[in-house]
Amino acid sequence: MATTIELSTQGDADCIDITSEVERAVAQAALQDGIAHLFVVGSTAGLTTIEYEPGCVADLKAMFERIAPQRDDYLHHERWGDHNGHSHMRASLLKPDLAIPVVDGRLTLGTWQQVILVDFDDRPRDRTVIVQCLSA
């Protein structure tokens, strides 16, 4: 069974905690044991887990700025005339999907581990995350 999570983001490495929405999708699917597989549609956003607190979120954004600086010149800019080459590079490092084991109807996340979507684009976007629940 698949569920979609619809989000509006601010872009510019906007980090959104989607843990409760994923938990809701697992509950709606009545999944007891298996995998919750998440996929964000689009090439400038990614999914990961983190301790979702202001310091970690700021550190994550700063890390991506060091790895793929927004102001660098990217060949992608020449192709389309836009300036979001850094967004594509960052998203390719993070990846568009995430698999989380489900045991006894619960995501197997650590105490301080939340599921986040990071939108790297250079403008606000509407994003769709597909959650597919697969039983063991």
**136 three-state secondary structure:** coil
The better pLDDT of the pair 82, 21 is held by: 21
Instruction: Report pLDDT for 4.
Output: 98
**Looking at residues 24-47, what average pLDDT do you find?**
98
CATH node for 2-135: 2.60.120.460
Instruction: Report pLDDT for 136.
Output: 86
Percent of residues, the chain, with pLDDT higher than 70: 100
d(CA 10, CA 98): 22
Closest CA to 43 of 73, 102, 86: 86
Q: 82: pLDDT confidence band, cut at 50, 70 and 90?
A: confident
Res 1 pLDDT > 80:
no
